[in-house]
Amino acid sequence: MFVAGFNFLSTERDVERRFGRYGNVTEVRIVRDPTGKSRGFGFVAMDNEEDVRECIRNMNGRDWEGRRLQVELCRHP
């Protein structure tokens, strides 16, 4: 999934915990600038397509840590 709207201080572990409520998270990649600071978006992979769709239904548009998440299906995490 493509996810935008991460809090800039969120870690991969924070994202894994939050999205893991909907299934097994296999990968989290937060996109960072050259200095290592989060750019506020990234990718989350889960091992089950049904869990991905449930996660999108529940997380897209939700406020998390003061920011509104945009969660969409993508082909390559």
User: What's the CATH number where 61 sits?
Assistant: 3.30.70.330
Query: Is residue 77 situated within a structural domain?
Result: no
pLDDT tier at 8, thresholds 50, 70, 90: very high
User: Looking at per-residue confidence, does 75 or 70 come out higher?
Assistant: 70
22-59: b (≥16 Cβ within 10 Å) or e: bbebeebebeeeeeeebeeebbbbbeeeebbeebeeeb
Beta bridge partners of 13: none
Instruction: Phi first, then psi: give them for residue 51, nearest 5 degrees.
Output: -65, -40
Domain holding 61, by residue range, is: 2-72
The whole-model pTM stands at 0.90
Name the average pLDDT for the chain: 94
Count up the domains in the chain and report the number. 1
The predicted structure's pLDDT at residue 76 = 59
Q: If you average pLDDT over residues 27-50, what whole number do you get?
A: 96
Report how far residue 9's alpha carbon sits from residue 22's, in angstroms, rounded to the nearest whole number: 22
